[in-house]
Every structure is written in structure tokens, then in C-alpha cells.
Amino acid sequence: MLYNNSMKKSFPHRVIAKIVKKLDPHFDKYREKRIADVEKVRENDLVKYEERVASAAQIEHDSFVPKTEKELIQVIRRTPREILSVKDRNLISGAMSFDKRKAILVMMPREDIVFLNDSDMLGPLNLDKLYKTGDTIFPVLNKAKKVCGLIRTDKLDLLHIAKDQPVSKLMEHDVVFARDDYTLEQLLAVFLRNHTDYVLIIDEKENLLGYAELSTLIAVLFNREIKDDFTDDSSSISVSRRDI
């Protein structure tokens, strides 16, 4: 409005009112146009800014190549779970560290091992005691207290053990060793080339430190326990008809 109280004192009220009435529509249109022009400029500037930001982000995304393991891990963490699930992340992290971690990581200590002597007698009563330990593999010691074999209770033919028999006649003679400073990759190679699922862990002086099982090693590789309730693998019919 051009008209105000100061003008009212200087000019006749009616004249000022007529002038204001004529000029107000023109000033209103001018103000509306100026406001529209300013808003349009702001909108255009905002669109251009967003386009520049999106373009810069896309260039940065397309050109970014991780140069260190730490940077790669950061990229994996930023990846949406719809693309990379928790299971996949665990698999990647387990595989990445597999050749750096040592065999002692998956070793059960010697204190947890139940030993047998090759001169021990094994029958129904002693077998029952072994079953109650929860283990299925038991290292056998000779007179020199060196491991000379293994008793696998899950592979014994119980029908032929009606009475006590020497452990030396029932044991397996194939024993496999690995050193505690082997990498997990080296330890896996030991399992594979010897077709076994049980390895005794020793140090450089041949001292027995404990044992490692293939199932534990695979769980570390996949960063999770591998579970499957199906057990009838020896039946081709059951396998072929299995509902997966």
C-alpha cells in the first residue's frame, strides 16, 4: 500500500484513497509476478543443485574401488541387506580370514580328550561308558604313550563285541596330525588329502595339544554351523525322494 497515515495528514483523504485504489491492483500484480519469478528461480536452482549432487554421487560410486581390506569391509557393510544377506556377509568375512587364522582356533584341548590304551579290554560295559561321554572318537595310546590308533564307536559292529576284546584289535591305525601353527587353509588341506574328519594337533616338539574336527573347521569357514536333519544318505531311494 502506498497510502499511510503520514499521507493522510498531507493530502485530502478522498484523493489519496482514489490514487491508492487505482495503483493497488498494479502493485499487487507486480508483487505476484516478482514472487512467482523468485520462486521459479529458486526451484530451478534447487533442481540443478540436486542434479549436480546426484551426478557427483554417481561418479563417486562408479569410480570407487576399494584399495584395502578395510575399505572393502566398509563397502560390504554399506550394501543393503536386500542385496547382501547376513548369511552372505558371514560367508564373505569367514572366507576372507580363512588363510590368516591358525589351527589352534578350532582345536579342542587335550584335557577334553578321553584316551584309551591299546592293551585295554573293550566290551559292552566299557563301550557304554564311552557312549556316555558324548564323543565318538577316542585316541589310543601305546606303551610309549604315543597315539597309535583311533577307536570310533559309531563304526564298531556291536553284534561282534559280545565280550571284552583288546582295543588293539578294534582300533583304526590311520592317525592324522597337523601342527598348531597351520593356517586354517592348511588344516583343511590335511582333512581333504587324508579323507578324514578328525585330526590331532601337535606342536613343533610333537607334544599333543588337542584335536580338530572337520565340522568345526567348516563352521568357521561359513561363519555358522551347517545343519541338516536328513541322515538317510546311504539310500538312493530316500535321497531321490527327499523333499528339499
- pTM, two decimals, is 0.64
Decide if 133 contacts 217 (C-beta within 8 A): no
**Which pLDDT score, from 0 to 100, does residue 97 have?**
73
User: What are the two backbone dihedrals, phi and then psi, of residue 141, each rounded to the nearest 5 degrees?
Assistant: -105, 145
Judge residue 151's burial from the number of C-beta atoms within 10 Å of its C-beta, 0-12 exposed, 13-18 middle, 19 or more buried.
buried
So where are the chain's domains?
5-62, 65-96, 103-227
**Which pLDDT score, from 0 to 100, does residue 133 have?**
92
**Which pLDDT score, from 0 to 100, does residue 26 have?**
57
CATH superfamily of 103-227: CBS-domain (3.10.580.10)
Query: All 3 cell numbers of residue 216?
Result: 568345526
**Which pLDDT score, from 0 to 100, does residue 85 have?**
82
Averaged pLDDT in 10-residue chunks for the chain of 244 residues: 49 57 59 65 70 60 69 77 79 75 92 94 88 94 95 83 85 95 94 96 96 92 81 90 86
**Which pLDDT score, from 0 to 100, does residue 99 have?**
78
**Which pLDDT score, from 0 to 100, does residue 126 have?**
87
**Which pLDDT score, from 0 to 100, does residue 19 have?**
58
**Which pLDDT score, from 0 to 100, does residue 125 have?**
85
Q: How far is CA 48 from CA 45, 54, 97, 172, 238, in A?
A: 5, 10, 45, 77, 65
